[in-house]
C-alpha cells in the first residue's frame, strides 16, 4: 500500500471547456504529488530489492516468488482476485489507510516501512484509481484521468480546519481512496530502497574454533530475477571479497558460473539411503516434524522445488524437530540437521572434492541471512574444514556423534 505526499496546491485554470477542463483539473491535481510511499513489512525489503520492484500479488504468484510477510490475508487476496485487483500494486494517498491498520492489528505486518516512490509511476499505462477501499463491494475502478472528479484532492493536499467535523469526515473518506498500478512499480522509481546489498562469504578454518568463519561483504546489487542479473551479483560479491583479501571464491548454487558450484547445489546433491538416493532438499523438507504432522516422507521422492513448496510445510503448526531414518535431530543448533545432510551427501565424493581446498571461501547469492537460516555455502565450508581435519568419518558415525563434534569445536553459525 502507498501513501502520497502533496505539494502546495496549484492555482487552477479558468478554462471551462468540458473535457479539456476536467483533464486539466486532473493533471493539476496529480501535479500536486511530490512523493509516493509504499508501506510493507521490513521483512520484505530484501525480496523487493532482489525481485527488482514492487509486484502485484498475481505477478508474484506467476513468478513463483514467496512473500515472507504478505500484508493481505486470504480473504483480501480472494476478494482482490474476484475483481481482478490482484493484477495491481495498490497505493493510497496518506500515511494512514484501513488496510495498513488492519494488517498491523492482525500482526501480518510487524514493522511498517514506507518506501518513497517517484510520482512518475503515475505515467505508467493502465494506472487506475478508486474512491474507496478497492476491494469493497460496489467500488468501481476509474481511469487516472477521472481522479479529480472522484477523489477529494482539496482535503488531501491543502490546509484545512482539521477541527471541523465535516472536514474530518472528508479526510477519513479520502484516505480510503487508492491508486492501482498494473503489474509492477519498477525499482528505479523507489527512491529510498538502497541498492547496496550485504551477503556473507564462508571461509573454512580447520584450526580455529568454530571451523567456519563468516565475513559479510557489501556490494552494489543488480536488481531482477533473470539469470544474467544473478551472475552480475555473484561477480560483484566476489570482487568485493577479493578487495578485502578473499579470493578465489566458489559460488555454490545453481547460478554458479562453475560446473563444480552447480553440482554442489542442494537441489542437485543426493543423500544415500539403504534403498537408494534422494535429493538433499527433498530429504530436508520431508524430515520436518511439526505439531500437526510429519515427517512427510512422501516428499523424499518429490522434485526438490515441489517438496519445498508443499503446503503441509506451512499448515502443520510449529516445527518441533527433524526425523531422518528413524533418527531425531533437535532444532538447536539451528543448522545442524541441514549441515549433517550436506556433509553426508558429499562424503562419497570426498577424494574427488579435494579440489575444494583451492578456494578461499564459498558463497551462495540466493542466501540472505535476514530471511534464511540454512546455507549450502556454509555447509560446503564446513565439509572442507572437516575433511582437512580428517574428521568426516567421525562426523558421520551417527547424528549424536555429529552433534558432539560440533559442540567440541564450538561450531556456531554467526548469522542465525
- pLDDT digit string (tens) for 359-378? 999 999 999 887 889 999 99
Q: Which of 347, 55, 68 is nearest to 181 (CA)?
A: 55
Model confidence at 253, in pLDDT bands (50, 70, 90)? very high
| Residue in 372, 355, 367, 361 with CA at minimum distance from that of residue 214 | 361
- Per-residue pLDDT at 27: 46
Assess whether pLDDT exceeds 90 at residue 303: yes
Please report, in angstroms and rounded to a whole number, the separation of the first and last CA atoms in the chain: 30
pLDDT at 18: 44
**What whole-number distance in Å separates Cα of residue 393 and Cα of residue 347?**
9
Sheet holding 178-182, edge to edge: 88-92, 178-182, 128-130, 142-143
- Lowest mean pLDDT across 91-105, 255-269, 289-303, 342-356: 91-105
Query: How does residue 232 score in pLDDT terms, banded at 50, 70 and 90?
Result: very high
Q: Per the structure block, which three cell numbers stand in for 62?
A: 506467476
Percent of the chain at pLDDT above 90?
Answer: 52
* CA–CA dist 3, 93 (Å, integer): 4
Mean pLDDT score of the chain, rounded to an integer? 87
pLDDT band at residue 93 using 50, 70 and 90 as cut-offs: confident
Alpha-carbon distance 196 to 326, whole Å?
45
Joined together, the cell numbers standing for residue 73 give 490475508
Shortest CA distance to 97 belongs to which of 192, 25, 173? 173
Q: Which residue in this structure is represented by grid cell 476509474?
A: 142
pLDDT of 4 over the 60 cut: no
Residue 249, pLDDT above cutoff 60: yes
pLDDT tens digits for range 8-65 = 333 333 333 444 444 444 444 667 777 778 888 888 888 888 888 999 999 999 988 8
% of the chain surpassing 70 pLDDT: 92
State mean pLDDT over 370-398: 94
Distance CA 372, CA 253 (A): 15
Record the cell numbers describing residue 30, joined without a space. 496529480
Q: What is the pLDDT of residue 188?
A: 87
Q: How many residues does the chain have?
A: 416
Q: How far is CA 412 from CA 208, 280, 332, 397, in A?
A: 12, 22, 10, 21
Q: In the numeric block, which cell numbers belong to residue 372?
A: 534464511
d(CA 289, CA 157): 54
| Class of residue 334 by CB neighbours under 10 A (exposed 0-12, middle 13-18, buried 19+) | middle
Segment 318-360, tens digit of pLDDT: 999 999 988 999 998 889 999 999 999 999 999 999 999 999 9
What is the structure's pLDDT at 414? 58
* CA dist list (Å): 157 to 8, 114, 142, 193: 7, 19, 20, 25
* pLDDT above 60 (res 2): no
pLDDT of the residue at 357: 95
pLDDT given at position 29: 64
Neighbours of 48 (CB within 10 A): 22
Q: Is the pLDDT of residue 3 over 50?
A: no
Question: Is the pLDDT confidence value at 114 over 70?
Answer: yes
Secondary structure string (H, E, C) spanning the chain: CEEEEECCCCCCCCCCCCHHHHHHHHHHHHCCEEEEEEEEEHHHHHHHHHHCEEECHHHHHHHCCCCCCCCCCHHHHHHHHHHCHHHEEEEECCCCCHHHHHHHHCCCCCCEEEEEECHHHHHCCCCEEECCCCCCCCCCCEEHHHHHHHCCHHHHHCCCCCCCHHHHHHHHHHCCCEEEEECEEEHHHECCCCCEEEEEEEEECCCCCCCEEEEEEEEECCCCCCHHHHHHHHHHHHHHHHHCCCCCEEECCCCCCCHHHHHCCCCCCEEEECCEEEEHHHHHHHCEEECCECCCHHHHHCCHHHHHCCCHHHHCCCEEEEEECCEEECCCCCCHHHHHHHHHHHHHHCCHHHHHHHCCEEECCCCCCCCCCCCHHHHHHHHHHHHHCCCHHHHCCCHHHHHHHHHHCCCCCCCC
Q: Angle at CA 354, nearest 5°, toward 348 and 355?
A: 125
Mean pLDDT of 89-112: 83
Amino acid at each position: 500500500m502507498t501513501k502520497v505526499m502533496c505539494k502546495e496546491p496549484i492555482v487552477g485554470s479558468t478554462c471551462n471547456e468540458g473535457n479539456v477542463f476536467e483533464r486539466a483539473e486532473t493533471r493539476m491535481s496529480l501535479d500536486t504529488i511530490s512523493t509516493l510511499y509504499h508501506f510493507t513489512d521490513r521483512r520484505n525489503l530484501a525480496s523487493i530489492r532482489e525481485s527488482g520492484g514492487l509486484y502485484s500479488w498475481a505477478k508474484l504468484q506467476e513468478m513463483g516468488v514467496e512473500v515472507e510477510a504478505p500484508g493481505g490475508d486470504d480473504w483480501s487476496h480472494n476478494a482482490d482476485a474476484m475483481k481482478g485487483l490482484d493484477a495491481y500494486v495498490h497505493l493510497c494517498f496518506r500515511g494512514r489507510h484501513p488496510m495498513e491498520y488492519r494488517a498491523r492489528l492482525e500482526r501480518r505486518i510487524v514493522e511498517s516501512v514506507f518506501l518513497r516512490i517517484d510520482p512518475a509511476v503515475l505515467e505508467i499505462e493502465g494506472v487506475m484509481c478508486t474512491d474507496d477501499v478497492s476491494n469493497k463491494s460496489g467500488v468501481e475502478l476509474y481511469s487516472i484521468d477521472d481522479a479529480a472528479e472522484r477523489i477529494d484532492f482539496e482535503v488531501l493536499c491543502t490546509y484545512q480546519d482539521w477541527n471541523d467535523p465535516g472536514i474530518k469526515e472528508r479526510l477519513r473518506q479520502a484516505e480510503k481512496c487508492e491508486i492501482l498500478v498494473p503489474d509492477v512499480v519498477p525499482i528505479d522509481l523507489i527512491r529510498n530502497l538502497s541498492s547496496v546489498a550485504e551477503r556473507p562469504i564462508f571461509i573454512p578454518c580447520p584450526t580455529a574454533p568454530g571451523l567456519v568463519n563468516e565475513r559479510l561483504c557489501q556490494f552494489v546489487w543488480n536488481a531482477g530475477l533473470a539469470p544474467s542479473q544473478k551472475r552480475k551479483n555473484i561477480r560483484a560479491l566476489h570482487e568485493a571479497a577479493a578487495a578485502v583479501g578473499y579470493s578465489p571464491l566458489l559460488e555454490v548454487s545453481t547460478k554458479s558460473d562453475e560446473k563444480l558450484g552447480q553440482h554442489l547445489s542442494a537441489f542437485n546433491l543426493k543423500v544415500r539411503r539403504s534403498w537408494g538416493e534422494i535429493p538433499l532438499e527433498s530429504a530436508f523438507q520431508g524430515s520436518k516434524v511439526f505439531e500437526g504432522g510429519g515427517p512427510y516422507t512422501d516428499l523424499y521422492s518429490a522434485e526438490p522445488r515441489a517438496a519445498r513448496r508443499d503446503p503441509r510445510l506451512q499448515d502443520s503448526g510449529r516445527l518441533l524437530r527433524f526425523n531422518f531414518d528413524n533418527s531425531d535431530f533437535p532444532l538447536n543448533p539451528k543448522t545442524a540437521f541441514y549441515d549433517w545432510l550436506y556433509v553426508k551427501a558429499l562424503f562419497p565424493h570426498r577424494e574427488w572434492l579435494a579440489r575444494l581446498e583451492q578456494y578461499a571461501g564459498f558463497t551462495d547469492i540466493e542466501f540472505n541471512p535476514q530471511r534464511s537460516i540454512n546455507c549450502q555455502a556454509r555447509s560446503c565450508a564446513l565439509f572442507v574444514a572437516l575433511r582437512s581435519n580428517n574428521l568426516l568419518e567421525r562426523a558421520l558415525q551417527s547424528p549424536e556423534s555429529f552433534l558432539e563434534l560440533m559442540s567440541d569445536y564450538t561450531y556456531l553459525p554467526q548469522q542465525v
